[in-house]
Amino acid sequence: MNTQDVKELYKNYVLGNYAPENMCIVKGKGSRVWDIEGNEYLDFFPGWAVCGLGHCHPAVVSALRYQAGRLIHLPNNYHNLTQAMLAKEISENSFPAKVFFCNSGAEAIEAAIKFARRYGSEKKKFEIITTMNSFHGRTLAAATATGQPKYQKGFEPLPAGFKYAKFNDLDSLKALISDQTIAILFEPVQGEGGINIASKEYMQKVRKLCDEKGLLLILDEVQTGMGRTGKMFAYQHYGIEPDLMTLAKSLGGGVPIGALVVNNKIENVLVPGTHASTFGGNPLVTRAALSVFKTIKKQKLLKHVEEMSAYIAEKLKGLKEQYAVIKEIRICGLMVGIELTCEGRPYVERCIAKRLLINCTQGSVLRIIPAMVVTKKEIDKAFAILSEVFKELS
């Protein structure tokens, strides 16, 4: 089989809701992947931010091998050892909390929305204010929470009760609060929205506002969680705690898992019968997630993320000085956005041709989200390729 054969299978059998690149990746290790023809690529967007520990981290592989031979699935009508251990691990690394497990980011958001709705139901409060340029997933409710009309077009009628404030703008948020508002939901760093970082002042004022008005503060840490920003969870940069937090992406080291983390300060409204997931929190994925926490600590990855972030920031400074096409650099830990004054897609294509995988979002923002295990040598190599590409295209 080669890429062409796989493309043929896609044409005949895979629903066309994606536009995959002209390659078929069959193997990965750390920050490197190989295509079916054996070509090696440097992956600076591993797994769309899922592979925080890089591809096939040995600790995750070993946890999966162990658990696969023991118990893969267990429905939630039995006590599950690894689910309980993971909930404790999440709580001990964030705030005193209880956790609901599901299988993806959108499902975690869906659970947060259902939690908020039920929390407010007696007082007839149901409105959730999110932010423009946010991204919360593709289920109908998550796509409606997402403050970008392009993800909603053609799927109307959308669920009621969502309003969109300008990101990082307290006045815009305040203006939308009504007697029916129950929650405020946003990402500490908008990922798909172009690496837009919430300011400390904004975050703290929103927390205060939520306390004053009795609103739930829901932080979507699907992309920012699990060490990505240099803290285990991004909210820890801000000196506040959310009421609810959603996780997914790199939580499972590559396997599908999502979580809704509910602060113990908030009364639990998801009692038996109100919400569930068949696969949620199964032994295989929760064992993998436990190995992710263990590895982040054992390899001191939070410190490493800070160091690599500073190293990348220095390199980006050099690139920006050289190329006027770079409008702005935004970086938080290992979430990097390079905003261009032009379309970013040609840059992505040239990088891929030179065997570097990166992403472009919002049309003009090059997005780089390398694995947390990335090395200086790999960063040097990636920037050598980026420099060549900027030289060729600018």
Ligand X SMILES: Cc1ncc(COP(=O)(O)O)c(C=O)c1O
Rounded CA-CA distance 114/233 in Å is: 23
User: Is the distance from CB of 290 to CB of 63 less than 8 angstroms?
Assistant: yes
Nearer to ligand X (CB atom), residue 104 or residue 168: 104
Contact criterion met (CB below 8 Å) for 363 and 343: yes
**Would you say 219 or 356 has its CB closer to ligand X?**
219
Minimum CB distance to ligand X, residue 49 (Å): 7
Min CB(145)–ligand X separation in Å: 9
Minimum CB separation of residue 191 from ligand X in Å reads 5
Q: What's the CA angle centered on 274, arms 268 and 280, to 5 degrees?
A: 90
CA angle 292, 253, 29 (to 5 degrees): 110
In the complex, which residue's CB is closest to ligand X?
Answer: 105
Establish whether the linkage from the previous residue to 283 is cis, with ω within 30° of 0: no
d(CA 87, CA 100): 8
Show the CA angle centred on residue 176, arms to residues 331 and 151, nearest 5°. Answer: 55
Nearest to 41 by CA among 29, 49, 53: 29
Q: Name which of 6, 66, 10, 8 is nearest 35 in CA terms.
A: 6
Nearer to ligand X, 131 or 386 (CB): 131
CB of 107 to ligand X, least distance (A): 7
Q: Which is nearer to ligand X, 181 or 190 (CB)?
A: 190
Interface residues with ligand X (CB under 6 A)? 104-106, 109, 135-137, 187, 191-192, 220, 222-223, 248
| DSSP per-residue string spanning 131-186 | EBT----SSHHHHHHSB-GGGTTTSPSPPS-EEEEPTT-HHHHHHH--TTEEEEEE
Are 204 and 240 a contacting pair, CB within 8 Å? yes
DSSP conformation class of 55: B
Q: Which is nearer to ligand X, 49 or 373 (CB)?
A: 49
For ligand X, the closer of residues 109 and 308 by Cβ is 109
Residues 231 and 302 sit within 8 Å (Cβ to Cβ):
yes
Q: Report yes or no: 119 and 102 within 8 Å, Cβ to Cβ.
A: no
Query: What tokens were used for 136?
Result: 């919360």
Q: What are phi and psi of 198, to 5 degrees?
A: -65, 135
The span from the first CA to the last CA of the chain, in angstroms, equals 38
> For residue 26, which phi and psi values (nearest 5 degrees)?
-120, -10
Indicate the angle between helix axes 301-322 and 376-393, nearest 10 degrees: 20
**How near is the Cβ of 320 to ligand X at its closest, in Å?**
25
Question: Closest CB to ligand X among 168 and 390?
Answer: 168
Q: Which is nearer to ligand X, 370 or 389 (CB)?
A: 370
* Residue closer to ligand X (CB basis): 226 or 386: 226
- Letter for the amino acid at 276? A
What is the closest distance, in whole angstroms, from the C-beta atom of residue 224 to ligand X in the complex?
7
Tokens of 355: 């065997």
| Identity of the residue, 106 or 305, whose beta carbon is nearer to ligand X in the bound complex | 106
